[in-house]
Amino acid sequence: MTKVHKPLLAYWVILLAFVQILTFAACAQNISLPSESNWATSGSNVYRPSGNVGIGTATPAAKLTVGGQSLTGSEATSLLDLASTWNTTGTPTALKLDVTDTASNASSLLMDLQVGGASKFKVDKGGALVSSKVTANPVAGGDYSFVTGPAVAGQAGGLFLGSGVLKGSGYNYITLDTGWGDLEITSWGGLWSFAGAGLSGVTSTKSIYINSDQHLGFSSSAAVTSAADTRLYRDAAGILAQRNTTNTQESRIYNTYTDASNGEWLELGFQDTTNTAVIKTNANGTGTVRDIVINGVTLASSGSVISAGGAAILSDSQTGTGGSGYLYWQSRSSMQSPVDGVIQLQNVANTDFNRLQFGGATSAFPSIKRSGAGLQARLADDSANTAIEASYVKSGTYTVATLPAAATVGAGATAFVSDGSVVHAGNSGTVVAGSGANFVPVYSDGTNWRIQ
């Protein structure tokens, strides 16, 4: 064995220590390092041309591996603490990861956050978010899931959250339900659900669902705490109700709507002053009040009621305005009650009336016909006179001076006079004269009144 001289050995130890100090000093001062060093410089930059860098570990498995941190007690030191000050008109990025994906497995990840070696939150290379809170049916508080693609409406995937995930002030939350694209909004114990093609492209039997003990309310105020003055409820299966305690309600269906000052609508509701149900049309501005048709019967805007085909009409008049109430047939006769206890029959021009038929329109039925100021008993087809049967006929009693003109009443009219100048016996056919005290039956020959 070669004997080493102790002073020489000490010299080499001191020399090696100096080389190590010089190497670290060169890194700090950006001076040239010996070619054997693992660090290189480029201007003011220091880098490693190859290999991995470890902090807290001697076996870094990645380009940069940080390990060895162990917090105990009340320690709260961050494993990674980055700070930057921005004072620029540019658009900086605080943390940037750029991967050139020439070819990689479909399950490759851009980020994987783990606890105890178990993944808790991932971002795959397609940009989808995958969390450990994913469940097949996320209903537990805090559960949610992301499908294997971006959550985009209309695709066969999306965002699914369990109850209580997106919360407000502790009493409401939003739930994106399992695989059907449903959106549920729960507030104050009620459930609202919006489902179907509108969210995910999945066909559903419901588009808006509200829990049966809840209502859809509208308020005049933007404040979320303001009371709704217009409310829609489900009273029972297939029954939609608009109600608000004892406040009268009104529904409107518009025909035209330009703005709040110009439109036409159907009004259905109650008058709050009279407790009267109202069905009518209304209009304002450039709008026009329209007719209403119910099963073929027209309720005209003028106040008329017109039956199917316009045959029978109830109206204030035949023209639909003014008057005292008519029942008439379009372009035909009408019946009016001008005062209580009186019924008036007249033609469409309100100038005459022909006859009133009983039972039918042929000669097998009777009618009463107006003839001037008198009435005739005629066959229904107006082909001939017909009889009137009675136990007796009572003629009117006149004085000779008050008898109507014989030409007016026509030949055949009969009457009694109370002041005949002669008695009836022996004077039949004589023109009657007055100024007497005799009751005499008389008849008209069309020119004179004569004693029967």
Strands 414-420, 397-398: pairing is parallel
Please determine, for residue 206, whether its predicted confidence score (pLDDT) is greater than 80: no
Q: Reduced to 3 states, what is the DSSP secondary structure of residue 13? A: helix
Q: Where do we find the tokens 């540019």?
A: 90
Q: What is the pLDDT of residues 50-66, one digit of tens each?
A: 888 888 888 988 888 88
- Percentage of residues in the chain having pLDDT higher than 90: 31
3-state secondary structure string, 129-193? EEECCCCCCCCCCCCEEECCCCCCCCCCCCEEECCCCEECCCCEEEEECCCCCCEEEEECCEEEE
Q: What is the pLDDT of residues 320-371, one digit of tens each?
A: 443 456 777 777 888 888 788 888 888 888 889 999 999 999 999 999 999 8
Question: For the chain, what is the largest distance between any 2 Cα atoms, rounded to a whole number of angstroms?
Answer: 199
Q: Which two three-digit tokens encode residue 343? A: 């019924």
Strands 355-357, 40-42: pairing is unpaired
Instruction: Indicate the range of 141-145, 261-265, 315-319 predicted with least confidence.
Output: 141-145
Task: Read off the pLDDT of each residue in 205-215 and give the average, rounded to a whole number.
Answer: 70
Q: What is the pLDDT of residues 421-436, one digit of tens each?
A: 999 999 999 999 999 9
- Strands of the sheet containing 312-315, edge to edge, are 292-294, 297-299, 305-306, 312-315, 326-329, 334-336, 344-346
Q: Which two three-digit tokens encode residue 255? A: 């025909």
Task: Read off the pLDDT of each residue in 226-230 and give the average, rounded to a whole number.
Answer: 85
> For residue 218, which amino acid is it?
F
Q: CA 283 to CA 288: how far, in whole Å?
A: 6
Cα–Cα distances in Å, from 447 out to 205, 371, 375, 412? 90, 18, 20, 11
Number of Cβ within 10 Å of residue 300's Cβ equals: 18
220, 213 contact by CB (below 8 A) = no
Report the phi/psi class of residue 240: left, alpha or beta, with left for phi > 0 and alpha for psi in -120 to 50.
Answer: beta
320, 304 contact by CB (below 8 A) = yes
49, 63 contact by CB (below 8 A) = no
Burial (CB < 10 A; 0-12, 13-18, 19+), residue 359, is exposed
Mean pLDDT of the chain: 76
Q: CA 248 to CA 379: how far, in whole Å?
A: 58
Q: Predicted confidence band at 146 (pLDDT cuts at 50, 70, 90)?
A: very low
What are the residue ranges spanned by the domains of the chain?
1-49, 129-218+228-247, 394-452
Would you report the helix, strand and coil content of the chain in percent, each value rounded to 5?
10, 35, 55
Q: Reduced to 3 states, what is the DSSP secondary structure of residue 309? A: helix
